[in-house]
Structures are given as structure tokens and as C-alpha cells.
Amino acid sequence: MIRSLFLIVFITGSCFMMAHSPRNGKSARDFVSLAGIWNFKLDPMNVSIPVKGSSFVSRLPETILLPGSTDQAGKGYKTQDMTSIRLTRLFEYSGAAWYEKENIFIPEGWEDKRIFLFLERAHWETQVWINGLKAGQGESLSVPHMYDITPYVKSGEKNSVRIRVDNSLIYDIAYTHAISAETQTNWNGIIGRIEIQAFDKVHIADLQVYPKRKENKLLIRAGISNSTGQRVKGEVHITCRSVKTPGNQSMPEVVIPFEGSDSLITLTHRYDPVDTLHTWDEFDPFLYELTYTVIIPDKNYFDEKSVRFGVRDIATQGTQFIVNDHPVFIRGSVNCCEFPLTGYPPMDYPEWKKVLTVYKEYGFNAVRFHSWCPPEAAFTAADELGLYLQIENSDWRFTVGENEATNRFYHDEVRRIFETYGNHPSFAFFCEGNELVGKGCVPFLQEMLKKWKSDPRHLYVAASGYPTVEGSDFYVFYGARPQRWQEGLKGRFNAEPLNTIYDYTDYVRKFTVPMITHEIGQWCAYPDFDQTSKYVGVLKPYNYELFREDLRNKNMLGQAHDFHIASGKFQVIQKKEEFESYFRTPGFGGYHLLQLNDFPGQGTSPVGVVDVFYAPKPYVTAEEFRNMQRPCLPLLRVEKFTWSQDETFTAKAQIVNFLKNAFNNAMVRWTLQFPDGRIFDEGSFKHIQIPVGTVTDIGEITASLETIADATDLILKISMDGTDISNEWKIWVYPRTLPEMIPKDVMITRKWDRKAKAHLEKGGNLLLLADTAKIDSDVQPGFSGISWNVVWSGTPPNLLGILCDPLHPLFRHFPTEFHSNWQWFDLVRNSKPVILDHSPYAFKPLVQIIPDWNNNRKIGLIFEAKVGKGKLLATAIAFDDILDRSPVARQMYYSVLSYVNSPDFRPNETLTFEMIDKLFLQP
């Protein structure tokens, strides 16, 4: 059976100091690696389990390399189709598979040892036969499978190991990211270390360290396995050393006598390091290593185990988190186990160090592992980097609590996770799983919470998303975000122009414990098709290939890169505002971004600012993104971002501070700059006190805009002297009045009718301010980007912002970038974008709207063309409805009139009258 030890009885030894050391460098822990070529066969019909008393009749006919999976070996059923919903698994298999290794020599010196088979990560039920005899059965998706095979092994001889791995739905938990087809897939195999390990008959079976920061002590609990069947007497040696601290610390060796006759002798000790231990947190991830040695002199038994740990307390105070008595704001990202080269997570430290370093470089202090638990190497890397990990049971069900066998599996899995990974300081939070539903859900979770809290090293929440269960230390709560699931165009970024007066105080008031808002920032960028060449492993990007072919068929493949960059720039703008909305909410606990990297399943969601391989995308650097979510960040409260010349810009400056230090008598400056760097206005706030753990009001910023005669954007920057702490925003300022523009030789009309056509046929210039009610289009004029993806949600927003050339003369009087920004809200939301799929290949709208990658269409907001003998400029913006209330609309209308009245109005492409006809509803 998989070994799982609970510490039930404690024997407290009296501690005393000794200079004695255990055997110099000697350890009783020996192992034989079983990595390499194994014999193999699939068993989809479950016909190869031997009948009691019989042996296996034949050698397995194929071979496979372990560690590894059936997918990597090309075993299983070759995929016959492709899908746009997710990456495509080349070889699929669900069921039993057999792995056998023969001629394994066990050293003669192991006759008096306890011998174990160690399988670091198998998927997910295993049965083991040693030399043809059944040695046990176990299951786990999260921890190593470990078998005591002592009775079956022949020392000094060659032995055989046969393992049956079954990745069937042992329990009905198909949605969890531990086995989901959307991410890592439900692979079959063994992917970590595979070893036969030898221990003395008295050895350390379990070792847990509980740092007591305020007491500067360590509580140590150890389980000593005693398979002698006799009373044993020996001593424990405890040493501690600094691994990653400001300096070398000298800590004493402690020797403790013990004795006992139980098969599991459970000891508890209090260790005094004498020197003050440095604490572990996101800023200073200081680490120590405790070495625990067991010596039984009369039996010549010896065992030694080392545990790395960090001294940290994590707790809550009201609606905020505190680590070592310092307030902490959780800046987290979700990890859903996307590793398309292998289809499973890496098991080695270097790869996890590389991956988790990216999270740190992009400004995160936390990672939530969505409905799965990473391997040991991930915890080790996170310990060194100072990341707070939220570990989750492999649970994402709609039948929670309804099946007793499944309930037992999850209860046991939690125990295994705590025992295996509980010493890591990065293991900060634990949760049962994601969005849990079921008839027995709440009682099941309440029972789980009570059991979990026997381990004080972590904080606990029953579920991520829902339900909220009383007894949780905090909540990961769905709702506090600008775009909720299937909210459509009622979401904040689509309902009204941006202001930063709003925050989520009403959500904070719902609870008396901290709230981390669930899966925020799901804004997408158009897919980057250049990444497809990276998929050289078991999962293929046929979804991206399908999207690319559709774009090719729509004659827009040449715009793919521009779509990616423009939508990506807009994606970052939206994420920045979302981050700040949480920072500016007093008492807020934090957020989990969904997510740093792209999500390749569930309809395909390119939500990341790095690709699925953790490589940066070209539209934002790690430094730029990190600066959007610094632990100390200036904030802006302002009622709007578009202003008129006759107004006085008014805003409130704030700073949120979650560093470890306060700022006393700080000097905070602000500047308003033109795009060329010239200062328009500036000011400062002196002697500002900025405490830790809260949002501090700095002062009011006011600037008269009277002298701004031409439309412009301004950059508002707030910074703190003597630091690199700063933040900036764009605002747009438009003239109070505009010169009267009476176009010469230009017909302005709202109707596409015979009169308009006749004017063009005669060679005239036509400005068509199309009546949006007459446009034949099903395009919803959403301002924001796509949230997650339209296939999965089934609702808008289903566009990705605008694409234009800001140097085109159309925009001579309308300052803009090539992508969407907040000033475009009135123009986009008050429009009826036209579908131009029937236009020629080279034809591109002057203001194009980037489509959903699942439904590539050429969508225009403003376009021009040669029609007949004349020239046409057409717009799908409802200017008549908004000119009297929108300075942005007035400015754009003025820029449009100026353009059609200028010699620059020279369309290159030609559209026929029939092509224009198709844009409008027919009478």
C-alpha cells in the first residue's frame, strides 16, 4: 500500500547539548534507480491481471522509456481528427497499461533492510508485483506512490518489477486540471523518479518541522518506523544550518535519547537554535536546513533525513493577510498545468526554477495551482524565490459529497499532500478545488476544513470561486471583477466610460476575513501564430492552425501580426486598470489573475502576456508588466479620462504600500506631459506619511486645461522622490470649440440611396455617416476585448479592439495609437460595425476592428474607397447621437471632415456599388 503516516502518539524527549556527531557522511539510505527501458503492453480490456496463485504467462511484448508517458512513446490510439477547442493529443489512451523491468540486481547487503519501491508521480492508480507476487495497490494524483516490497525481494539476486498503471476514471473527477484534456491531459505512465530504496529496520518515516517564529523555536514531529518487532533504544541528533540567510549562523547540535516498541514511534521535540532565526517572505526568502539523525547503537542502525524550511507565520487580520506580522497583498496568477511538450508537469528543479522565476519577474508574489498539486521540485523552487503557493486538491466536480469512495480518496489525498509537502514555507494556502457543486458539498467541505486545521502551517479556504463555506480562513470569491461570467456588454468596461472612482469596497464588506478575487483579468490577445513551431512534443496546436487557415481564407493572414500586437497592447491596458481597481480598494486581500501564460483549452484562450511556453510576448516586457502590480504603487482617482479645454483637470493621488517598510516625510511629485516630453503642469506633495498595508491619500491634483488649443493626449505621472516608485496614465484633452468646417465639393449624407450613388457616379466625393439602424450587421459593438473566449462563454464581448494607422491623415486632428485605448469608448460603443468580408484582398478599413479568432471577419468602423468615378468615406459611428455630449465624437467628426476636405483624401482601393449595397438592410 502507499505509505501514509499520521502522527498519533507523541513521546517528548529531554534535550541536551553534545558535541558528538553521527557517522561522518554515512547514511543507511541506499537506492537503485529503475530509470531506463521497460517492457510494456496496453491492457484496455483488463485481461492481464493474474488469477490468485498463478504467475504471469509471458513477457510483455513492447518496450517503453521511463520516466515518461504512453503519449511520449507513441502508445495508444492515434488521433484521427483535430479540434479548435484545445490542443490535440497525438496518442490517446485511457485504461490499464503494464510496465515491467527484469534483471534488477539487489545488493547482498540489503538482506536486513526494509526495501521500498518509490514511484514519484504515476497516473493514477498503481498495482505492483515483485517477482510475480502481488505487493500492493495504491492511488494518488499528487504525491509519490510508495510500496514496502521487503517480503518479495531477493537480495543478492536479480529481481523483476511489474507495475500496472491505470489512468481510467477511477473516480468521476474528469474536470480537474490533474487529468483534464484541456491542459496536461490524462496521461498514463510514471514521470518522476523510479527507485528501489533501502532503509535500516529502524528509520525515519516522516519528519515535520513547525517553526515557532515568536518563540524563536522549532517544533519537530517525527515518525520512526520500527520493523524489528522489538523494543529499540537509541538517540536522535538534531542539527540546523542556514542555507540562504544574510550570514552563517552557528546553531547547536542536540542529542535526544529515545526508546519504544511500537511499529511507528512518534516523537516530538522543541529545538532552540539560540541564534535568532531570519524569517521567510516574498522579499527575503531566507531558508534553513534541519538534519534529523536516528542512531540505534546496539543494532548498528542509522538513518538521516534533511528538511529545508523557512520561518514564517501566515495569518489574517480582519480582511487582510499578514506574514510575520506584516500586511501582504496577494498578487497571484493561476497555473492550470499547461506543458504541451510532455503533456505533464516537469519533475526537475531547474525547469520549475525557470518557470516560477517568470512569475516573479512579471511581478507576482503568489501562484494558485488550479485543481492540481505540483511536484516537490516546484515547492523547492518557490521556497527559494519567495512565492506564496495555493495548493489545491485535484477537485473540480459537480457531485461533491455524493460518493463515499470519492470522498475517501480526497480525504486521503489531503493527508498525503500535507505529509509530503507541508514543510515548504512556500506552501502557504490550501483549498479543496475549484467551483465545487454537489448535493453534499457544504457538509463535505466543512468536515474537510476541520481536519485540515490540525496543521497550522497553512491558511485554508474550502473552495476557489464557490461555495463560500464558514470556517474558511479566507475566501477566493467570484464576482469582484469588471467582466463576470456571461455578463455580456453589461460589464464595467462596456457599460460606461472608464472612471477610477469605483472600487470593490462593497465586496470587502461581505466578509470578515480576507478575500482574494477569483480568476480576474481574462482579457485576450489575438493568437500569435508564430509560436506554433514550438509545439514539438505530444500536443499539437491544430487549434491555432485552424484559426490561421480561417484567417487565410478570409484574406487577412497578412494582418495576423498586427492583430496580435494591437490586441495585446489593449489587453495590457485593461489588465492594468483591473489590477489598480483592487489596489485602490481599502482592505482588499488580493487577486488571482487568469493567467500569466496562455490557456490552450476550453475553446482556446490566449489570455497570457507570455505564451504557453512562458516566453514573453512582443507587446509587453516583464519589467513593464511588473511595474503594473508593484507592492508599492501610486494610484489615481479620477472621474473620467477625456476632458475639454474649458475644464480643470481634477484627480486624487493615492499610494498603496505593501512593502515591509513605511515612508516618512516622503516627497511625491506629479507631472502632466505632452507626448513629446514637454511639461504642461506639475506639482508636489511634501512630508507625506505612507504606512504599510493600506491605501494612503496623497492629495488633490488640479490643472487648468484652458491653454490647450489642439487635441492632445497627456501623460500623468506620479512618483516618489528617492525611489523607483511611480505610475502613469493617459488622459485626453479636446478643444472647447472647433472651427466651423464646411466641406467643399463633398456630399454629406446618412443614407446610401440613389442620390448618393449618383453623386459618386459623377465623380463626386461622398461622406457617408451611415444610419446604424440600416446597417446589415450582427457585430455587437463591444468596447472591451474578449474575456476568456466566445466559444466557451457564448456571449459578447467578441471583439479585440481597433487597429488603425495613427499617421494616416484621417487622424491629423485626432490623437490616437494604433490600438484601442480608453478614449475610443464613445466611438466604438455608439456604432454598428460593418462586415466587409466580400471586399477585395487588399482592402482594409481605416479603422478596423480586430475579430474573434474563432470567427475571422473583416470588420470596419471607418473605411474609404474609390466607388464609381468618385471617392467615398463611410463611417459606422452614430455621430448624430453623441456629438452633443461627447468631446471625443466632436473631435473625430472634425478630423473626418478635415480629411475629406483635403487633398490627402485619395483612396487606393476600389469597391463596387454592389459591395456597398451588401452593407445595408434591403427595403
Over the stretch 15-41, which tens digit does the pLDDT of each residue have? 333 323 333 334 457 999 999 999 999
- Here the cell at position 226 is 520500527
Please state, in angstroms and rounded to a whole number, the distance separating the CA atoms of residues 79 and 307. 44
Do residues 779 and 799 lie in contact, with contact meaning Cβ atoms separated by under 8 Å?
A: yes
- The model's pLDDT over 555-573, given as tens digits with 9 standing for 90+, comes to 999 999 999 999 999 999 9
Kindly report the CA angle at 917 between 915 and 919, in degrees rounded to 5?
Answer: 85
Buried b (16+ CB within 10 A) or exposed e, 303-325: bbbebbbbbbbbeeeebbbbbbe
CA neighbor of 339 nearest in space, from 597, 80, 139 = 597
Please state, in angstroms and rounded to a whole number, the distance separating the CA atoms of residues 892 and 586. 38
H/E stretch holding 643 reads strand 642-644
Lookup result for grid cell 511629485: 669
Alpha-carbon Rg for the chain, nearest whole angstrom, is 32
3-class DSSP assignment, residue 42 = strand
**pLDDT confidence of residue 50:** 62
Question: Could you tell me whether strands 590-593 and 515-520 are parallel, antiparallel, or unpaired per DSSP bridges?
Answer: parallel
**pLDDT confidence of residue 21:** 33
10 Å CB burial of residue 161 (0-12, 13-18, 19+) is buried
Please list the ranges in the chain whose pLDDT falls under 70.
Answer: 1-28, 49-57
- Here the cell at position 9 is 502518539
Across the chain, what does the average pLDDT equal? 95
For the residues of 432-460, what is the DSSP string, one character each? S-BS---TTHHHHHHHHHHHHTTSTTSEE
φ/ψ of residue 557, rounded to 5: -60, -35
CA neighbor of 311 nearest in space, from 207, 425, 208 = 425
Other beta carbons within 10 angstroms of residue 16's beta carbon come to 9
**pLDDT confidence of residue 923:** 79
Other beta carbons within 10 angstroms of residue 405's beta carbon come to 9
Lookup result for grid cell 485554508: 460
Lookup result for grid cell 472612471: 499
Please state, in angstroms and rounded to a whole number, the distance separating the CA atoms of residues 179 and 408. 19
CA torsion sign, 524 to 527 to 530 to 536? positive
Question: Could you tell me whether strands 765-769 and 388-392 are parallel, antiparallel, or unpaired per DSSP bridges?
Answer: unpaired
